[in-house]
Amino acid sequence: DTAVSQTPKYLVTQMGNDKSIKCEQNLGHDTMYWYKQDSKKFLKIMFSYNNKELIINETVPNRFSPKSPDKAHLNLHINSLELGDSAVYFCASRQVGAGGNEQFFGPGTRLTVL
Partner 1 sequence: SQKIEQNSEALNIQEGKTATLTCNYTNYSPAYLQWYRQDPGRGPVFLLLIRENEKEKRKERLKVTFDTTLKQSLFHITASQPADSATYLCALLAGNNRKLIWGLGTSLAVNP
First-to-last alpha carbon distance for the chain, in angstroms, is 34
Distance CA 73, CA 75 (A): 7
Cα-Cα-Cα-Cα dihedral sign, residues 21, 38, 36, 9: positive
Query: In the bound complex, what is the minimum distance in angstroms from residue 16's beta carbon to partner 1?
Result: 28
Cβ nearer to partner 1, comparing 31 with 75: 31
DSSP E strand stretches across 26-63: 31-37, 43-50, 53-57
Work out whether 59 is an interface residue with partner 1 (CB under 8 A): no
Q: Which residue type occupies 39?
A: S
Cβ nearer to partner 1, comparing 76 with 82: 76
Cβ nearer to partner 1, comparing 8 with 16: 8
Work out whether 108 is an interface residue with partner 1 (CB under 8 A): yes
Query: In the bound complex, what is the minimum distance in angstroms from residue 50's beta carbon to partner 1?
Result: 9
By DSSP bridging, strand 73-78 and strand 64-70 are antiparallel
Work out whether 43 is an interface residue with partner 1 (CB under 8 A): yes
Work out whether 56 is an interface residue with partner 1 (CB under 8 A): yes
Query: Which positions lie near partner 1, rule CB under 8 A?
Result: 4, 40-45, 48, 55-56, 90, 92, 100-108
